Amino acid sequence: MKKEEINFVFEKNPDLSKIGTKEQYEKYLETIIPDSKVKDIVYRGNNIKFDLPTNNNIGIYLTVNKNRAFQYGERITQAIIGTINPYYTNDRPDIYWKRIIDNSDRLSNHDSIIFKEGDEIISSPSKTHILGSKKDVEGFKKYIKKSKDTLENKVISGMFIFIFLASIFFLSTNITGNTIGNITESGSKFIGIILFLLGISGFFIYRKLRS
């Protein structure tokens, strides 16, 4: 995705900046439909509020060119489409629409039609994810929370590993006897046991709190 595409999404949906950064949002979008053949954000221009239809075998008109979308209206719908099995054609969109009746089953075998000579795409609505929608915002929140939880888990896991290794260090009299001369064998084992118990108990307490 292009940087200006993400900038435009944040410009139209300022609440997204309260959740995370543009870089995080781009990473989040990559997880929604990762197998899609179309990676760019697509646009739909209208002069009235436009809700994508839920049942339409023919599909709806979209474009990857934001300026072209503005030609059809000032209200811009931004989306990501799940194009897994597209049909590529050299037809211009206007020519295709004239032939649509005779080819009304085109999308029954393909989830979208991509015009090679332009920026236009005709996509099945069931394969569309609207950016800035309630579903999108909630999904971004969950993504950020999961990312924070993952980082926290890595930090805490690293801490417990460090404590465990430290306990092994002090429990090994061969190591501590040669490197820490002022600690007795019993003192070394005592420290090792304390660290080991601290690590084990802390780990289980943390897992219990997380669950």
Residues 6+ apart with CB under 8 A from 27: 143
Residue 6: pLDDT band (50, 70, 90) is very high
pLDDT for res 150: 59
Coil, strand or helix at 52: coil
**Position with higher pLDDT, 118 vs 11:** 11
Stretch 124-150: mean pLDDT, rounded? 83
Indicate the residue type of 156: I
Q: pLDDT of 26-71, one tens digit each?
A: 999 999 988 888 888 999 888 766 666 544 555 778 888 888 888 8
pLDDT at 101 > cutoff 50: no
pLDDT at 137 > cutoff 90: yes
Q: pLDDT of 77-96, one tens digit each?
A: 899 888 888 888 877 766 66
Q: Please report the sign of the dihedral spanned by the C-alpha atoms of residue 187, residue 189, residue 193, residue 196.
A: positive
Closest by alpha carbon to 138, among 52, 51, 32, 60? 32
- β-pair type (112-115, 86-89): parallel
Q: pLDDT of 149-181, one tens digit each?
A: 555 566 666 676 777 677 676 667 545 455 555
Work out the burial of residue 4: count CB atoms within 10 Å of its CB; fewer than 13 is exposed, 13-18 middle, 19 or more buried.
exposed
**Where would I find the beta strands (DSSP E) of 47-125?**
60-63, 75-81, 86-89, 112-115, 120-123
Work out the burial of residue 16: count CB atoms within 10 Å of its CB; fewer than 13 is exposed, 13-18 middle, 19 or more buried.
buried
